[in-house]
Amino acid sequence: MKREIEVFDYAGEILKALKRGVLLTTKVGGKVNSMTIGWGTLGIEWGRPVFIAFVREGRYTRELLDQSPEFTVNVPVGGFDKKILGFCGSKSGRNIDKVKELGLTLEAGEVVSVPAVKELPLTLECKVIYKQLQDKNAIPEDIKKAMYPEGVGSDEPMANGDYHVAYYGEIVKAYIVE
Amino acid sequence: MKREIEVFDYAGEILKALKRGVLLTTKVGGKVNSMTIGWGTLGIEWGRPVFIAFVREGRYTRELLDQSPEFTVNVPVGGFDKKILGFCGSKSGRNIDKVKELGLTLEAGEVVSVPAVKELPLTLECKVIYKQLQDKNAIPEDIKKAMYPEGVGSDEPMANGDYHVAYYGEIVKAYIVE
Is A133 touching B (CB cutoff 8 A)?
no
B contact test, residue of A7, A8, A130, A163 with most B CBs within 10 A: A8
CB A128 within 8 A of CB A71: yes
Is A108 touching B (CB cutoff 8 A)?
no
Is A8 touching B (CB cutoff 8 A)?
yes
Interval A65-117: pLDDT, tens: 999 999 999 999 987 789 999 999 999 999 999 999 999 999 999 999 999 99
Residue A161 pLDDT: 64
B contact test, residue of A14, A18, A45, A124 with most B CBs within 10 A: A45
Residue A54 sits at the vertex; the CA angle it makes with B10 and A52, to the nearest 5 degrees, is 50
Mean pLDDT by 10 residues, chain B (178 residues): 97 96 96 97 98 96 96 91 92 94 97 97 98 97 91 51 94 97
CB B123 within 8 A of CB B70: no
CA A125, CA A51: separation in Å to the nearest integer?
10
- The boundaries of the domain holding residue A124 are 2-177
Q: Which of B80, B82, B92 is nearest to B34 (CA)?
A: B92
Domain count, chain B: 1
CA B81, CA B65: separation in Å to the nearest integer?
25
Show Cβ contacts of residue A77 under 8 Å, excluding neighbours closer than 6 positions. Answer: A13, A120, A121, A122, A176
> Residue A104's CB: how many other CB atoms inside 10 A?
22
Q: Do B44 and A38 touch (CB under 8 A)?
A: yes
CA A176, CA A161: separation in Å to the nearest integer?
37
Is A170 touching B (CB cutoff 8 A)?
no
Q: Do B44 and A50 touch (CB under 8 A)?
A: no
Residue B81 pLDDT: 80
Q: Which of B140, B106, B114, B149 is nearest to B27 (CA)?
A: B114
CA-based nearest residue in chain A for residue B137: A130
Residue B48 pLDDT: 98
> Residue A102's CB: how many other CB atoms inside 10 A?
18
The answer to pTM > 0.80 is yes
Is A14 touching B (CB cutoff 8 A)?
yes
CATH code, domain with A89: 2.30.110.10
Q: Do A39 and B47 touch (CB under 8 A)?
A: yes
Residue A160 pLDDT: 57
Interval A123-169: pLDDT, tens: 999 999 999 999 999 999 999 999 998 765 444 455 556 999 999 99
Is B96 touching A (CB cutoff 8 A)?
no
CA A155, CA B68: separation in Å to the nearest integer?
39
